[in-house]
Structure 1
Amino acid sequence: MSATRFLARMSFETDVGTALSDTRIRLLEEIGRKGSINQAAKAVPLSYKAAWDAIDTMNNLAPEPLVVRVTGGRQGGGTQLTEYGQKMVAMYRALEIEYQAALDRLSERLDQTGGCDIRGFQQLMQRMSMKTSARNQFSGPITGLRDGGVDYEVRIRLDAATEIVAIITKASAENLGLTIGKDVFALVKSSSVMLSMDRSMKLTARNQLWGEVAVIHEGPVNNEVTLALPSGRSVTCVVTGDSCRALGIEPGVQACAFFKSSSVILAVTG
């Protein structure tokens, strides 16, 4: 065996980018074993908040939810791996075994020829990896494109019942090569999302997503509030602690997360 080798840190790719990684798979496995996000996060290890962020991102990007929240029981509820989530974990681990075997064979051949800088290649791949600070990450196909002269209105379907709208410059639309049916990432910062509890209120914001308050992470001044959408996806926003108390925002209540179309950032792969 060569001293330098490629290690299988496989990721599961959707049409719009990475959905599963080794860390996320381990988190899913621990949720399946323990039925508790807190215990699973400690086992990985991840912070409790980072674990929830990962779950929300996976559920938003996957065709079906991988993890669901369950209520009731002696422990007051917890988290559960769905059947779809179990299949994804099993598929990942089976592919990982074959992937590592193939990489070992490749590393051995390259080491014998002496014509490849494996360490340099690994460093290049690390530098090319992209992460985003946007808390809300969605994906889906483009269902509508309207040329507004200097800008484009882009409609993205998240699921059978939900679309969101983005407004981007015409130059950006051309640069991204946007076309009907093309899969894209839609990124929205949590600070750009606002909450309303009043169904009768009329809003100018194009994007209005109703759901149930699922999780509230409290801070000294601001709270991070996550709504669970009917589709199994979620959206997170930042609300002051005073506003949460004044509006009666607490787990289980219905609320609308709304944000302007100009607050949606689009991204594509390739």
Structure 2
Amino acid sequence: MRKSSTTSLPSLSVRIDLNTDGRIGPGKIQLLENIRACGSISAAGRAMDMSYKRAWDLVDEINRVCGRAAVDRQAGGKNGGGAVLTPFGLSLVARYRKIEHSAESAARKELLALQSDMGVRRKP
């Protein structure tokens, strides 16, 4: 889960183990969101302080473990290349964020109890 700068509440991180040899988690979803925002894999990687090769490898891994393309790469040329999320990629991000929100909501009471047990106080 995305950590808030105004609270010390313990947070939850969601990773989805797929029935293949892969998983989808917050880093890959953030990369997809950055590709959507930036319009390219290289710019998305730079936004995450990630090498171009690492970003490409993660996109290839996402496509492989999902069994279908989440990112459509557009070849360079006169106006340069780019990348966009496919309809499946958009759905993947939306579903992941819904699962993440549901998990956070379901765990909130226990996270607050853990915070109390640890003696952690909310930041002002």
Q: TM-score range by the shorter chain?
A: 0.7 to 0.9
Matched, 1:106 2:105: no
Which blocks of at least 5 consecutive residues in structure 2 are unaligned? 1-6, 119-124
Amino acid at match of 1:89: V
The residue type equivalent to 1:64 in the other structure is R
Distance 2:31 2:109 in 1: 29
Of 78-87 and 16-25, more deviation after overlay is shown by 16-25
Matched, 1:53 2:61: no
1:111/1:23 CA distance change after superposition, 3 Å: closer
Matched position secondary structure for 1:64? coil
1:68 matched to 2:58? The reply is: no
Maintained 8 Å contact 1:68/1:81: yes
- Distance in 2 (CA, whole Å) between partners of 1:78 and 1:33 is 11
Structure number having the greater helix percentage? 2
SS of 2:31's equivalent in the other structure is helix
Aligned residue in 2 for 1:25: 29
Query: 1:55-134 to 2 correspondence within 5 Å?
Result: 55-71=59-75, 74-110=78-114
SS at match of 1:68: strand
- Report percent identity of matched pairs: 31
* Residue pairs, 1:136-175, within 5 angstroms: none
C-alpha distance in structure 2 between counterparts of 1:26 and 1:81, whole Å? 12
SS in 2 for 1:65: coil
Aligned pairs, how many? 112
* 1:224-263 pair list within 5 angstroms: none
Q: CA deviation at 1:79?
A: 1.6
Of the two, which has the highest radius of gyration?
1
RMSD: 2.4
TM score, norm. by length of structure 2: 0.76
| Structure ranking higher in strand proportion | 1
Higher relative contact order (CA 8 A, sep 6+): 2
The answer to whether residue 48 in structure 2 is matched with residue 44 in structure 1 is yes
- TM-superposed deviation, 1:16: 3.1
Whether contact under 8 Å (2:18, 2:24) holds in the other structure is no
Paired with 1:102 and 1:18, the residues of 2 have a C-alpha distance of: 25
Does 1:9 pair with 2:13? yes
Unaligned 5+ runs, structure 1 = 118-270
d(CA) in 2 for partners of 1:72, 1:48 = 15
1:68/1:80 contact within 8 Å kept: yes
Moved over 4 A (4+): none
Shift of 1:44: 1.9
Residues 1:34 and 1:106: Cα distance change in structure 2 (over 3 Å)? same
Distance 1:93 1:75, change over 3 A: same
CA distance in 1 between counterparts of 2:27 and 2:114 reads 28
